[in-house]
Amino acid sequence: MPIYEYQAKNPQKACEKCKRGFEYIQNIVEKPLLFCPYCGEPVKKVISWCHAAIVEQSREYKNIQQKVEGYEKEGMYSHAAELADKYSHKTNDSLFKERALEDYKKAGYNLDASSDVTS
């Protein structure tokens, strides 16, 4: 069941719980609370802010990331660029594309408008 947040409409008359806001578990089809379950004062539902998001990366992504970092540490920028570029084309990953471009430059490639290194 979802957790909804509520807060007092009039904080001067509210109890400490609804003055600061409180969470309330409700079924999605239930009507919103109109009154604080602790003090009975009128409350309103508030929009919650998402404070964190978990983004999991695939095993392949992590492997490619480690290989590219390894090549970069060894100064093998053309190898790092090629691997990052190949992966970016495969997955449309713009971060790997940017990294590939940076590594191509470090490897000494001239990336002007007529270059087809990353196409």
Could you tell me the two tokens for 27? Answer: 């079924």
Q: Residue 47: what residue type?
A: I
Judge whether residue 69 has pLDDT over 70: yes
Is the pLDDT assigned to residue 14 strictly greater than 60?
A: yes
- Tell me the pTM: 0.51
Q: For the chain, which residues make up each domain, given as ranges? A: 3-45, 59-106
Determine the average pLDDT of the residues in 58-77: 94
Residue 75 has pLDDT above 70, yes or no: yes
Q: Which of 51-55, 83-87, 105-109 has the lowest mean pLDDT?
A: 51-55
Please, which residues have CB within 8 angstroms of residue 87's CB and are 6 or more apart in sequence? 64, 93, 96
**What pLDDT does 2 receive?**
77
Mean pLDDT, the chain, as a whole number?
Answer: 87
Residues 81-102 have a mean pLDDT of 92
pLDDT at 28: 83
Q: Answer yes or no: are the C-beta atoms of 85 and 95 closer than 8 Å.
A: no
* Measured CA distances, 2 to 30, 47, 55 (Å): 11, 13, 21
Q: Which residue has the higher pLDDT, 26 or 40?
A: 40
How far is it, in rounded angstroms, from Cα 15 to Cα 35?
12
Whether 72 and 103 have beta carbons less than 8 Å apart is answered as: yes
Query: Residue 73 has what DSSP assignment?
Result: H
Considering the chain, what percentage of its residues have pLDDT values greater than 70? 87
